[in-house]
């Protein structure tokens, strides 16, 4: 199994994670994905990529380095993102009852191993 797929496998095993994918941060394209049926990876990649870029500009404007972890919380679920090196971003779509703490740790560890 490739390192990317291993990373996705670990993240999707966390309770409440509906899927994870590795995207290219600059152009929002899917590099690898592991998603439940009915979830459009391309849409997640494009939207998450765009949001991460925008947040990156905001943090840069504040004189801070690029984000290491982002959590967008909605009323019905969340998107988590862990930007890594080489423009890769590990993204996960999680439900309301997900173990966010564990998902965060797994994602940071996984993206660290990809670097």
| Contact positions vs another protein (CB under 8 A) | 28, 40-48, 50-51, 53-55, 57-59, 61-79, 93
β-strands 17-24, 29-35 pairing: antiparallel
As measured in angstroms, the least distance from the Cβ of 17 to another protein is 14
User: What CA–CA distance (Å, rounded) separates 45 from 10?
Assistant: 19
The candidate with the shortest Cα–Cα distance to 86, out of 58, 113, 46, 48, is 113
Q: Judged by CB, which is closer to another protein: 1, or 38? A: 38
Edge to edge, the sheet with strand 17-24 lists 29-35, 17-24, 88-95, 77-83
Q: Which sign, positive or negative, has the C-alpha torsion 40, 97, 11, 92?
A: positive
Q: Judged by CB, which is closer to another protein: 28, or 88? A: 28
As measured in angstroms, the least distance from the Cβ of 69 to another protein is 4
As measured in angstroms, the least distance from the Cβ of 15 to another protein is 18
Q: Judged by CB, which is closer to another protein: 7, or 93? A: 93
Q: Judged by CB, which is closer to another protein: 4, or 44? A: 44
């Amino acid at each position: 199994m490739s390192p990317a797929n291993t990373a996705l496998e670990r993240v999707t095993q966390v309770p409440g994670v509906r899927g994870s994918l590795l995207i290219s941060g600059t152009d929002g394209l899917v590099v690898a994905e592991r998603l439940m049926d009915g979830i459009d990876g391309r849409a997640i990649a494009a939207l998450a990529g765009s949001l991460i870029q925008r947040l990156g500009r905001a943090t840069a404007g504040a004189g801070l380095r690029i984000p290491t972890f982002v959590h967008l919380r909605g009323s019905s679920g969340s998107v988590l993102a862990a930007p890594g090196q080489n423009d890769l971003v590990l993204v996960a779509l999680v439900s309301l009852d997900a173990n966010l703490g564990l998902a965060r740790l797994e994602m940071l560890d996984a993206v660290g191993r990809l670097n």
